[in-house]
Structure 1
Amino acid sequence: MASGAELTSKEYITHHLTNWSVGEGFWTWHVDTLGWSILTGLIFLFSFRAVAKKANAGVPTKWQCAVEMVVEFVNDTVKSTFHGKSAVIAPLALTIFVWVFLMNLMDLIPVDFIPYSAQLIGGAMGYDPAHVYMKVVPTTDLNMTIALALGVFILMIGYSIKIKGVGGFIKELTTQPFNTPWLYWFNFILEIVALLAKPLSLALRLFGNLYAGELIFILIALLGVWQLPLHFPWAMFHILVITLQAFIFMVLTVVYLSMAHEKH
């Protein structure tokens, strides 16, 4: 990093874990999180669309083969997990899996590469490099993971009302586990807590695992020239982590939406 020699270890870590923010209070925008998440989303859309347009029954290219394997894997997962009928769930699951995976994959870029480039650009534009921030892994930002989980939560509520009706949804929240009128209030509290815990656990699980992984990369980078013996083994292991976290987010989303389609 620019002026890295002037930073203590604590300042170095804090700088890497600080978002490029615009605005104040509730209306603070994390520009880096928005930018990198949109970029990875566009990469997913355009790359998969290009394969779909050029797909043929002949010998597939390596990239087409890889895309078809991902699509088939997601499709099989949805068939075994989702027990309702919806034309939206499989495309949604594919989007979640690939998009979250690509955002997680940003964690494998050397921790100083993009932030240092941003500091050089900021310095050339007259900004103090010490106050130029660039956090490149969107899923290490709790705002991003909560936004993803909130989208899943809205779909859960929407499908529950669509399938069961408003009355059926309210009945589901009040009549179980104890189908006794004088305990409806207690059932409602239990069900609301369980309902809110689903998106909250989705958001915190993804954020916690990726934030911890990024922090370990930063700690390894503090070793300077001695970081290579540790960096590559951790990067190889982290490939499993980022893939697993994308898969878990996708599977839990499908499971929650399947539960929303069930009629009790």
Structure 2
Amino acid sequence: MASGTVTSSEYISHHLTNLTFGYHEKTDSWRFVNTDPANGELALPHEFGFWAVNVDTLLWSIGLGLLFMWLFRKVAKSVTSGVPGGGQNFVETIIEFVDDNVKGIFHHKNPVIAPLSLTIFVWVFLMNLMDLVPIDWVPYIFNEMGVHYMKIVPTTDVNATGGMALSVFALIVYYSIKQKGIGGFIKELSFQPLPKIFAPFNLFLEVVGLLAKPVSLALRLFGNMYAGEMIFILIALLPFWAQWVLSVPWAIFHILVITLQAFIFMVLTIVYLAMAHDDH
């Protein structure tokens, strides 16, 4: 980018690279993914150790989470029983929408499920919404400040979607054991759907099905958002007039995608937690 001559493959690779910090094995140092001023070597994400951190994913996801909490807290503090303002109407609509879905799926008593579902829906939606920001705007600003890599859509990072999915998985296991006990949880995995004599086979099937839940949650959200981001990047490689012809319709369609993916993640979380509370 500094030289002004960037090939299509370099442009795509640049926009798909996270701002990673960790131990770089090749240069034997702790550093960011970047060009090393000493020897000009490019530090790539796969050259970092296991504990490398995608700094941009963390910053944007935490920042959007704080924005969500600040916005809803501000509306809650100024709520009125009279004629509500636009902000109160908007927040109340979202809360009623989430509450209706929880009541329709989850038929147990648990005060955590509704707030959790609201958090998932709004937070994932805000992270997905960053995909509508023009692809070069934010990376250009950070590049001018000396930060050469910046991905602003956290859900295009499988580490973010995987982390959220593992959190949901931990809740599934926790509530399964809390509701049924360890023995009941193991029996549920071992004695269905086939007769007890096939317990080892049942256990294999049920464990695979249990592990598939966080995997499907993580990869569904990541795959859809990553594909959408890739299309925006490919459109950005076209001539300027073609970018407007294609990017605007795709952005309008993508509004449906980002909303739908947040909704699916929320609904599947409710369904999985409802299954964890059900006793078979």
Unaligned stretches of 5+ in structure 2? 23-47
SS at match of 2:279: coil
State the match for 1:217 in structure 2. 232
What amino acid is aligned across from residue 49 of structure 1 in structure 2? R
Identity of aligned residues (%): 63
Whole-angstrom CA distance in 2 between matches of 1:72 and 1:179:
43
Give every structure 1 segment of 4 or more consecutive aligned residues whose post-TM-superposition deviation is greater than 4 Å. none
Number of matched pairs: 254
State the match for 2:64 in structure 1. 40
The change in CA–CA distance for 1:135 and 1:4 in structure 2 (over 3 A counts) is farther
Does residue 1:144 correspond to 2:160, yes or no? yes
**1:29 alignment partner, one of 49, 53, 72:** 53
Whole-angstrom CA distance in 2 between matches of 1:252 and 1:188:
23
State the match for 1:196 in structure 2. 211
Whole-angstrom CA distance in 2 between matches of 1:3 and 1:140:
26
Relative CO higher for 1 or 2, CA cutoff 8 Å, sep ≥ 6?
A: 1
State the match for 2:34 in structure 1. none
- Summarize deviations over 1:122-149 as a string: whole Å, max 9, x none: 1xxxxxx7xx110110000000000000
CA contact (8 A) 2:20 2:54 kept: yes
Q: Supply the RMSD in Å over aligned alpha carbons.
A: 1.0
Whole-angstrom CA distance in 1 between matches of 2:54 and 2:2:
23
Deviation at 1:4, TM superposition (A): 7.5
What amino acid is aligned across from residue 82 of structure 1 in structure 2? F
Does residue 1:119 correspond to 2:143, yes or no? yes
The change in CA–CA distance for 1:45 and 1:230 in structure 2 (over 3 A counts) is same
What amino acid is aligned across from residue 18 of structure 1 in structure 2? T
- Summarize deviations over 1:61-83 as a string: whole Å, max 9, x none: 11110110000000000000112
CA contact (8 A) 2:56 2:150 kept: yes
What amino acid is aligned across from residue 231 of structure 2 in structure 1? I
Does residue 1:254 correspond to 2:278, yes or no? no
CA contact (8 A) 2:190 2:196 kept: no
State the match for 1:243 in structure 2. 259
Q: TM-score, normalised by structure 1?
A: 0.94
Mean Cα deviation higher: 78-87 or 249-258: 78-87
SS at match of 2:58: helix
Q: TM-score, normalised by structure 2?
A: 0.89
State the match for 2:181 in structure 1. 165
Deviation at 1:178, TM superposition (A): 1.3
Does residue 1:95 correspond to 2:111, yes or no? no
SS at match of 1:73: helix
What amino acid is aligned across from residue 198 of structure 1 in structure 2? K
